[in-house]
Structure 1
Amino acid sequence: MFKLTKRSVEGFEIEGKDYLIWDREVRGFGVRIYPSGKKTYLVQYRAGRRTRRVTIGQHGVLTTDEARREAKQLLASVARGDDPSAQRQAKRHAPTVGGLCDRFLEEYVDQHCKPTTAKDYQSIIRRFIRPKLGPIAIAEVTRADVVAFHHGLRSTPYQANRAASMLSKLFNLAEDWGLRQAGSNPARRIKKFREEEKKRYLSNDEQIRLGEVLAESLEEGTESLYVVSAILLLIYTGCRLNEILTLRWGYVTSHHLELPDSKTGRRRIPLPREAYDILLDLPREEGNPYVILGDVAGQPLVNLQKPWRRIRARAGLTRPSNTRLCGSNDNLGLNCRC
């Protein structure tokens, strides 16, 4: 045994295979000399019937005195009943945020969320959470990590707030599943960014132009009866776009639309006479339960954005950037919080 010092460690000869030298002052503290010339400090101890070794650091990065102090701290923790080697291995193999996302989608979303909600969650995970936090161990994510993640999305405040809310749900589940200490959710009470809705309503002149273009498009055959009817139903009912596209004849009464599973749950929507007349004029397809038919037999129209862009351009209607078609109670709103 030697007293390990900077001079003694640097003086140890390089051999054809690695070997260990133990310190005579701190039992279990030693240095490993590799054939490459690298020298690494370590500590050895017994945990039950097993001998364990923990690497402290490389000579040159750490001084001998620094390594000895670290060895004393590790050996003190062993005396208290800890097992530093096992703890390091557990930490190295700890489940990550990416793994938590997989379990969340498989065990929670598939069981408790509607398809549209599941699609939103999948998008947030793919675009934001996995790239930034995916490789980090669940137990190691701090509030500072979440704040930095949220702040990094500040240019898209709506998405930033949705992602932060989803992280909070993820870490609540991690606590329920025993993957984090109870009450340690780092995404709880993250201050949300202010969201400004980009709604733009049509003036009277714009409504007139839109009505003319819809009539012309129908007469010329550039747009189908179902496309034109869907847009008019959005205007008259104030429904969400998906509520109109997935509307079934079984939901239609003479005075209401009875939506059993809308975004906010069961909804009864008053049906103005103009909207009811539009519905009466729509041809039905045998075996197809949907009101707004698409090109695929038995299925509804799935994309109103492309025809809406054509109609909007022809009518000379402008809109805020990054917005989509949706309905309002008395006008055509050109924006959802998308």
Structure 2
Amino acid sequence: MAKKVIRLNKRNIDELEPDSFKRVVYWDDQLKGFGVRVEKTGRKSFIVRYRPGAGGRAAPQREIVLGQYGTLSADQGKLAAKKILAEVTARTGADPAVERRKARRAETVNQLFEYYLDVYAPSVGLRASTIEGAEVAFRLYVKQHIGSMKVADVAPSDLRRLHAAVLVEVREKLVQRKLKRARKLKKAEKLGAEEQRDIEASVPKNAGRYQANRVLAVVSKAMSLALENGWRTDNPASAVKSLPEDKRERYLSDDEIRRFLVACDAYEDQLVANAFRLLLFTGARLREVLEATWDQFDLEAGVWTKPSSHTKQKKTHRLELEGVSLEVLKDMRAKSPFLRHLFPGASLTAPRRDLKRPWEWIKKYAKLEGVRIHDLRHTLASVMISTGTPLAVIGKALGHTQPATTARYAHIAEKAQREATKAASEKFVALVSQPQAEVVPLNSER
């Protein structure tokens, strides 16, 4: 494949769009070895590539991540690359990449996360949603609380404080959001003390546990990398207990499904509305739908083949399409026969990143309380169960590779079976209680 060569300046870098399947490197047309790497998430990092020693094809190729675009400007990135390339040229046998690895024992948590996000995550092909979650955890919590600490100095007590801080901050954000909404409804700048206490008390006691545990999990992974690279001798996160979480099991009722579909019909952007319809009708995950391309579909055969790079289980998933889901897709294709992505972003060359704002509108219009986008997937499973679909078939439709994953819906199946048995029993009783028709003997005489 030919190298992508451009002038690496602010205007050109700002215009670079991510590829939904792989990271892409663009090389500078002036400084050989200097490039910018664009991840599937849209994250852009400056890199420099060289061959140590005397160079030549026999020497191994090295790559150094200089820093993230935004933190470094194009000029700063190019200057950093020039210094490294000059060092390789000036000192015989110089290998800055190896020297940097040796010096990393004294790195801070901020630098550890830079390595995690810029080097490790792309090299092992972590899902875009996983990388995004790690970036959010770092930006909102890790950087503020332990970012400046030396990796080797982080103790379990530091992570316990971080864990507790996330819990407090998430709860406080929820309270402030509820207070703001209440003030808006009352058209008042302040609320009474009693009203404020009631709102604070309305925030669930377990609020924030999920986020706190996710942040701890991200830090644990980063510390595992530090352990693997010899930057410390243990993982301090292993001594910190996660908070208990209530397993979410939210399914839309028949009336909520009706209101949801009415909201989809009312939404101004019907292409976005189709994304929500497909999430419900197919049970696919959000990233699978948003990153889908038309070459994954055989609309004549009614088949959606999701590539392994798009699925959570990292395996190709073949989904049979029928009924309304197939109708929606055929209608979409007829209206946009030349697009690559089903749901393109503003540039039309990359997929839409999220559905956050449209989802808030849909929820408000349909009056859906406590519903996440992922609950549409659970709702499909519950509807399939109510129609008598076996768990094994449901697991295949949802792309589960382990029966235990689908078994979470077993209690719904049991409830459906009880209701069906009850309905049958009631019918039997009703038949028995009906008055018997009078039996008129047939006259045998002719």
Where on the TM-score scale, by shorter chain, does this alignment land: which range? 0.5 to 0.7
Distance in 1 (CA, whole Å) between partners of 2:355 and 2:220 is 34
Structure 2 counterpart of 1:250, from 287, 291, 295: 295
TM-fit CA distance, 1:324: 4.6
Distance in 1 (CA, whole Å) between partners of 2:377 and 2:287 is 13
Q: Is the 8 A contact 2:152 2:232 kept in 1?
A: yes
Equivalent position of 1:119 in the other structure: 132
* TM-score with structure 2 setting the length: 0.47
Secondary structure at 2:376's aligned position in 1?
coil
Corresponding position: 1:137 with 2:150: yes
Paired residue type of 1:111: S
TM-fit CA distance, 1:299: 4.2
Paired residue type of 1:171: M
Shift in alpha-carbon separation, 1:279–1:190, aligned structure 2, 3 A: same
Shift in alpha-carbon separation, 1:202–1:329, aligned structure 2, 3 A: closer
* TM-score with structure 1 setting the length: 0.60
Corresponding position: 1:160 with 2:172: no
Structure 2 counterpart of 1:149, from 159, 162, 177: 162
Corresponding position: 1:175 with 2:227: yes
Equivalent position of 1:94 in the other structure: 106
Give 5+ residue unaligned stretches, structure 2.
Answer: 1-104, 169-207, 383-446
Shift in alpha-carbon separation, 1:189–1:242, aligned structure 2, 3 A: same
TM-fit CA distance, 1:279: 1.0
Distance in 2 (CA, whole Å) between partners of 1:99 and 1:293 is 34
Equivalent position of 1:224 in the other structure: 269
Corresponding position: 1:275 with 2:330: no
Structure 1 counterpart of 2:306, from 256, 259, 276: 259
Superimposed CA distance per residue, residues 239-265 of structure 1 (whole angstroms, 9 cap, x where no aligned partner): 112221221112223343221122332
Secondary structure at 2:231's aligned position in 1?
coil
Distance in 1 (CA, whole Å) between partners of 2:259 and 2:319 is 27
Distance in 1 (CA, whole Å) between partners of 2:163 and 2:325 is 43
Q: How do 1:293-308 residues align onto structure 2 when only pairs under 5 Å count?
A: 293=344, 295-308=346-359
Distance in 2 (CA, whole Å) between partners of 1:251 and 1:209 is 31
Equivalent position of 1:210 in the other structure: 260
Bigger Rg, structure 1 or 2: 1
Distance in 2 (CA, whole Å) between partners of 1:125 and 1:324 is 24
Secondary structure at 1:272's aligned position in 2?
coil
Paired residue type of 1:278: V
Superimposed CA distance per residue, residues 127-176 of structure 1 (whole angstroms, 9 cap, x where no aligned partner): 11121112222222222222232233335222221222222222222222
Q: Is the 8 A contact 2:359 2:373 kept in 1?
A: no
Distance in 2 (CA, whole Å) between partners of 1:330 and 1:97 is 41
Equivalent position of 1:289 in the other structure: 340
TM-fit CA distance, 1:104: 2.3
Q: Is the 8 A contact 2:283 2:377 kept in 1?
A: yes
Equivalent position of 2:250 in the other structure: 200
Superimposed CA distance per residue, residues 36-70 of structure 1 (whole angstroms, 9 cap, x where no aligned partner): xxxxxxxxxxxxxxxxxxxxxxxxxxxxxxxxxxx
Equivalent position of 1:110 in the other structure: 122
Shift in alpha-carbon separation, 1:159–1:289, aligned structure 2, 3 A: same
Paired residue type of 1:162: R
Corresponding position: 1:241 with 2:292: no
Superimposed CA distance per residue, residues 185-209 of structure 1 (whole angstroms, 9 cap, x where no aligned partner): 2112532112234553322222223
Paired residue type of 1:211: L
Equivalent position of 1:188 in the other structure: 238
Q: Is the 8 A contact 1:236 1:272 kept in 2?
A: no
Taking every aligned residue pair, what percent have the same amino acid on both sides?
Answer: 26
Superimposed CA distance per residue, residues 18-46 of structure 1 (whole angstroms, 9 cap, x where no aligned partner): xxxxxxxxxxxxxxxxxxxxxxxxxxxxx
Distance in 2 (CA, whole Å) between partners of 1:279 and 1:263 is 23
Shift in alpha-carbon separation, 1:289–1:172, aligned structure 2, 3 A: same
Shift in alpha-carbon separation, 1:214–1:152, aligned structure 2, 3 A: closer
Distance in 1 (CA, whole Å) between partners of 2:362 and 2:119 is 43
Shift in alpha-carbon separation, 1:170–1:304, aligned structure 2, 3 A: closer
Paired residue type of 1:264: Q
Distance in 2 (CA, whole Å) between partners of 1:161 and 1:136 is 21
Superimposed CA distance per residue, residues 178-235 of structure 1 (whole angstroms, 9 cap, x where no aligned partner): 2213xx22112532112234553322222223333434x2xxxx52331222221111
Distance in 2 (CA, whole Å) between partners of 1:105 and 1:306 is 26
Paired residue type of 2:209: P
Secondary structure at 1:188's aligned position in 2?
helix
Q: Is the 8 A contact 2:293 2:340 kept in 1?
A: yes
Shift in alpha-carbon separation, 1:176–1:314, aligned structure 2, 3 A: closer
Shift in alpha-carbon separation, 1:305–1:149, aligned structure 2, 3 A: closer
Give 5+ residue unaligned stretches, structure 1.
Answer: 1-92, 334-338
